[in-house]
Amino acid sequence: MTRFSVNAALAALLLLTPTLGCGNKGGGAPQGPQEPAQDVEEVLDRLAVDRTETPRVDPYGNDLPLDHSPLGSRTDLQRFAEIAVLGVSLPGFGGTDPLTILKEVPGAGNTLNTQMLHSVSDADLPWARISGNMPSSHRDATRGDIDGDGNDEQVEIDMQAPTTLTVRNDNSIALDGFPVEGDFRGVVLIANLTGDIRPELLVIESGDIAIYSPEGREQLRLGLQAGPEELFLMHTADGRVGLANGDRIHWFEPEEQNPQWVTPQGRHSRNRVSLNDGQVKVPQPAVLDRARVYNYPNPVTGGRTTIRFYTGSATRANIRIFTVEGLPVQEVTLTDLSTNDYNEWVWQVGDNPSGLYYAVVEVVGAQTESVLVKIAVVK
């Protein structure tokens, strides 16, 4: 990998443009026009830039894969025939992408035209996301199958006080038990340490290593002996899991190994992709889990409540709100449902008076199932 500074890139950009002449500013002999460089290598040679290849190795000296990128496995930075000034642009108000890679090329006169080389999505940058119209930075979010449904969830540490730990599915819906408030920092590691096949979350909280269950309950605390970037998990052939913590290794013997995110960079290869194999490890409902249909808050005092329901393979959900007398209030159909996960819909109470209401949640899949939810509205 060839490295050069922005100043060198700017100078090289000028060398690529034919020069008309140079003034005699230093008192020496006048200089004539300089021929433009023919390629990138010639420009770098004129600037005396060291083009020695930098070894692509991890902190342990192991060779990195050729497609490794610190921005994620899907980010491809192409090589261009001319010197390009590359920069990172965080969009302002109204932006939709958290990271854009830009290229500036000569335009008319002495101007530079900006071309967008790559616009990175949230999937490419799991550690950043958009909140409203402004980028909201999160502290090293990670991914893994927390609830055993075969799908990755995103584990976030929100830096806004109070610091919170949250696990969300692809619909940005939090799992039961989250968010959890605390003094979190560092990277969340994800692996099965105890109990069933679902993994636990390991994170630094208030100066200790705290281990949380998939429901957000604290299970264990260990004294921190290393920096956040030095913690990692190892899995042995005999089924044990080791947590490297400075000069100590804490050993766990789970019923079954289930590594998801084992180093601050994800995998030991430093590829920020979870180790989730996509297999469903916890039995899932065919269409609707009737035990996991409810609304919150209840009673409703703030003018809105969220109806939450867990679906298996479903094509749509119909939610109907009725008064206690059976009169229809509102009806909505949802089609963008998460499989083997929670889905939510917010009911705005509006001008409806205080009283008892019924919500019928009907989910359609291989068969149709429905659950009645009682909602108390207090104004």
pLDDT for the residue 139: 47
| Distance (Å, whole) CA 190 – CA 193 | 9
Pull the structure tokens for residue 11. Answer: 């100078």
* DSSP assigned state of 229: G
pLDDT for the residue 141: 78
pLDDT for the residue 45: 77
pLDDT for the residue 300: 96
Domain extents for the chain? 138-252, 288-377
Per-residue pLDDT for the chain (379 aa), expressed as one digit of tens each?
A: 444 444 444 444 444 444 433 334 444 444 555 677 777 677 777 777 776 766 666 656 677 666 655 544 433 333 333 333 333 344 443 344 445 555 555 666 556 566 665 554 444 444 333 333 333 444 457 899 999 999 999 998 887 767 899 999 888 899 999 999 999 988 899 999 987 899 999 999 999 999 999 999 999 999 999 888 889 999 999 999 999 998 899 999 998 999 999 998 889 887 788 999 999 999 999 999 999 999 999 999 999 999 999 999 999 999 999 999 999 999 999 998 989 999 999 999 999 999 999 999 999 999 999 999 999 999 9
Q: How far is CA 91 from CA 98, 262, 281, 326, in A?
A: 7, 32, 40, 49
Report the 3 state secondary structure along 231-246. Answer: CEEEECCCCCEEEEEC
C-alpha closest to that of 369 among 299, 285, 257: 285
| Distance (Å, whole) CA 152 – CA 172 | 12
Do the Cβ atoms of 361 and 309 come closer than 8 Å?
A: yes
Domain 288-377 in CATH 2.60.370.10? The answer is no
